[in-house]
Amino acid sequence: MKKHHYLFFLAACIAASCSSKKDAGFTAKIDNTLKASANQYEYLGTRNPDGRFPKSYHVKNDSLETSDSGWWCSGFYPGTLLYLNEANANQALKKLADKSLADLKKEQFNKTTHDLGFMMYCSYGNAERLRPNADYKLVLMNSAKSLATRYNAVAKCIQSWDSAPWNHATKDEMPVIIDNMMNLELLFWASKHSGDKTFYDIAVNHANTTMKNHFRPDYSSYHEVVYDKNTGAVVRQITNQGAADASAWARGQAWGLYGYVVMYRETKDRKYLEQAQNIAGFILNHPNLPADKIPYWDFNAPGIPNALRDSSAAAIMASALIELGSYSDKELSKKYYADANTMLTSLMAPEYFAAPNTNGGFLLKHGVGNMPNKTEVDTPLSYGDYYFIEALMRYKQAGL
């Protein structure tokens, strides 16, 4: 999502350190990883069926798991292709991206999902940033309008899933998940593009409501808060994808961190900066965060230290920390950049970064999608790849 890389400049005092052999070597490693990733996504493109969007990969039968354009992950494949083409111009990747964008286009009118930020801003947002044109802008505006229809003015937040037994919500209730913070960037873009402050206000109200009701005193977050549609009252604070209602699901913590970094970027309201820094403090200072900074799938997962890691959560965290470092004081920035470096170093190592023409064409191994429902467990994930490449590009372009 996000992709305003010009925001991520550093002060001259930090830039001076970038001439060291260590930093030059790390930059070279990023360059090599980006080139290898481009080749890997060309390979993925040869395996992905027309009109489908890669989700994951099944090692046992060497098969891709794909979706149609309506799945929440559909924007990550074209978004990653666009990032990789930006890093190293590649006509094959551009062609794949353009085809995928065309297949995704109809989702601009999808009002049944809160994930239009993931779907349309990670894809068309990158496309519009790189090659501005009226068609891309229209798609993004329509997508923002569709997303805004899910806003509940009483609860002052955007409904995530539609009510259903599986998400613990009745017809008079509305579930809101922490992931929804990632969809607000689309609304900020729409407000700036159209001059309509309604989109901005919805994003701010949603972030404020989430900050009030999703977070515990230690700045960990619930995955899901269920509201009464008619009164806006909190009915339940629970989880759907974490280990327990009171646990800290790793990717949920990453979504919250990233989301409040975006909130500060777009509003310059320091309460969002402080929220992001507090979430980062919970993550980075947690006694269950391993030394290589790749978190367990839940910070309270059963079986630690033998619990599965989640490479996708680490990729999201790394990308957010790099941007957060550019807004923070010198001491915090140093910590954020160092921890992002450690995360990326780990993700670029063979334990997590796939060898050429393996892993179904995906980049990262060892992601965890939904452990409680036993889906996409210890496997590549399209969003893990997306935020991994975004983090590498942010790190390099920040001059770290």
The enclosing domain of 271 has a CATH number of 1.50.10.10
Please report where in the chains the tokens 């995906």 appear, as a residue: 362
pLDDT for residue 400 is more than 90: no
Residue type, 203: A
**Mean pLDDT for the chain?**
94
Q: For 26-60, what is each residue's pLDDT tens digit?
A: 999 999 999 999 999 999 999 999 999 999 999 99
**First vs last C-alpha separation in the chain:** 21
Q: For 114-134, what is each residue's pLDDT tens digit?
A: 999 999 999 999 999 999 999
Strand partners, 375: 370
Considering its fold, how many domains does the chain have in total?
Answer: 1
pLDDT for the residue 3: 45
The alpha-helical segments, DSSP class H, found in 105-223 are 116, 126-130, 134-148, 184-194, 197-213
Give the pair of three-digit tokens for residue 388. Answer: 């991994």
- In degrees, to the nearest 5, what angle opens at C-alpha 171 toward C-alphas 170 and 172? 90
Distance CA(24)–CA(66), nearest Å, equals: 38
Mean pLDDT of 67-75: 98
Domain assignment of residue 222, yes or no = no
Domain assignment of residue 201, yes or no = no
Give the pTM: 0.94
Distance CA(248)–CA(232), nearest Å, equals: 24
Q: Which of 301, 285, 391, 283 is nearest to 347 (CA)?
A: 391
Distance CA(222)–CA(237), nearest Å, equals: 6
Q: Which of 342, 309, 320 is nearest to 387 (CA)?
A: 320
pLDDT for residue 9 is more than 50: no
**Side-chain half-sphere CA neighbours of 211 within 13 A:** 19
Distance CA(350)–CA(212), nearest Å, equals: 41
Please indicate whether residue 111 or residue 165 has the higher confidence score (pLDDT).
111
Domain assignment of residue 272, yes or no = yes
Domain assignment of residue 147, yes or no = no
Q: For 139-170, what is each residue's pLDDT tens digit?
A: 999 999 999 999 999 999 999 999 888 888 99
Domain assignment of residue 296, yes or no = yes
Query: Which has the minimum average pLDDT: 19-33, 107-121, 283-297, 310-324?
Result: 19-33
Give the pair of three-digit tokens for residue 106. Answer: 């109809």
Domain assignment of residue 259, yes or no = yes
Distance CA(363)–CA(382), nearest Å, equals: 9
pLDDT for residue 5 is more than 50: no
Residue type, 209: T
pLDDT for residue 211 is more than 90: yes
Domain assignment of residue 210, yes or no = no
Please report where in the chains the tokens 């997306």 appear, as a residue: 386
Q: Which residues are catalytic?
A: 115, 179
Domain assignment of residue 195, yes or no = no
Enclosing domain of residue 385: 1-47+248-400
Q: For 331-370, what is each residue's pLDDT tens digit?
A: 999 999 999 999 999 999 999 999 999 999 999 999 999 9
